[in-house]
Amino acid sequence: MMTRHAPFTSHTRSACILAIVRAPFLDHPRPVAFAHRGGAAHAPENSWTAFEHAAKLGYAYLETDARATSDGKLVAFHDRTLDRVTDASGPINALSYREVAALRVSGTEPIPLIEDLLGAWPDVRFNIDLKDIPGISLLPEVLRRTGAWDRVCVTSFSGNRLRTARGLLDRPVCMATSPTAIAGVRCNLGSSVRWPQIRMFAGFLSRCCVYCAQVPGKVATAAFVRRAHALGLDVHVWTINDRAEMIRYLDLGADGIMTDDIETLRDVLIERGQWHPRVGSGRL
């Protein structure tokens, strides 16, 4: 099982609450650059073209969404319905994979299978946002077939979906904080909270394989970053497409930035000496 925490002696706690041994998903040098939906500023979101562009730029982390088709295939698609990004309409989970495969995002791009994305770049990590309940039970089998347990982080806006996924997975998989845990970091770690309470909260997160807080920019204040780090959590900020904002969050100590504008983020990190590209490029 993944472990990360070892308490320091009392005289060091004011400086750093917890020592961290990284989960495999997070063992890349900081800060982490995430290609949000593959890098939607440069190609249609969640498309092969977007993911390929990000991989060729050197991105080691790709972010995507997962939804189920009516016949049990897990596809990379954000919305509940097809209306916004395809010429079709209605819920995507009402269609079979054969029907979904015939559709095109922005008129040109097929909708990928999550399993195919994991297989295309065996050295790339994937941040997978579970968008619906039917998709939860499909993820474990996808990870079994691809052996990608250590290359994924599971996230969702639903704590129930995260709990259900955790119960179905055969092995520990990195998970992001639920909305409830984010609220706990924001509201319940004030100056009156003592070390045993912090250690209890950190232990709970660790047992749940929660290793990162993925939050919108408005949440990622200096205090939030400090409190999350005290719990041993990495902080990943989304979705930051403005150059000045990228720099601001990096200066605050964010461990990762999610962006649609993957070219600008790469340029910022290169300028700061913080660009850590993947080895190799191109689709296998």
Instruction: Give the residue numbers marked as catalytic.
Output: 36, 78
87 burial level (CB within 10 Å; 0-12, 13-18, 19+): exposed
CB 185 within 8 A of CB 222: no
Instruction: Name the amino acid, one letter, at 265.
Output: L
CB 270 within 8 A of CB 247: no
Determine the 3-state secondary structure of 221 from DSSP. coil
Which tokens is 272 given?
């700061």
Maximum Cα interatomic distance, the chain, rounded to a whole number of Å: 62
On the question of a cis peptide bond just before residue 7, with omega within 30 degrees of 0, the verdict is no
Q: Which residue has the tokens 């917890």?
A: 18
- Say how far apart CA 60 and CA 264 lie, in whole Å: 16
